[in-house]
Amino acid sequence: MSRVMMFFLITALALPAWAESLRDPTRPLGGAPASFEQVDLSLHSILVSAQRRQAVINGQMLQERDEISGSGGVRIVRIERGAVTVQQGSRRWQLHLHEQPVRRTH
């Protein structure tokens, strides 16, 4: 009887350590989980020409497929006139350039 109790005691003590070693399959690779709500991106300008497509986001000059530094893994998918499509994990969204009318002064 003491062997059976010893087996259950060892198993009960080892179970929490074993459970901690399991990796959550929904957790992003490389550390702390990224939160979509914590990403703060500001699109400042867009340059689209025949030779290049660039956007300034959070003060960084970026191209398609670049990762925005300090964003938790947000990458630029597409740069178009007036909007930039970005992606973080499986979530995609667009940043729009707010065009303000240019006033002409005399």
Which CATH number applies to 39-96? 2.30.30
Contact 66/57 with Cβ under 8 angstroms?
no
Q: What is the reported pLDDT for 67?
A: 95
Contact 47/53 with Cβ under 8 angstroms?
yes
Average pLDDT, the chain: 78
The Cα 69–Cα 81 span in angstroms is: 22
Helix (H, G, I), strand (E, B) or coil at 30: coil
- Residue 59 identity: G
Residues in the chain, overall count:
106
pTM: 0.58
With cut-offs at 50, 70 and 90, classify the pLDDT of residue 33. very low
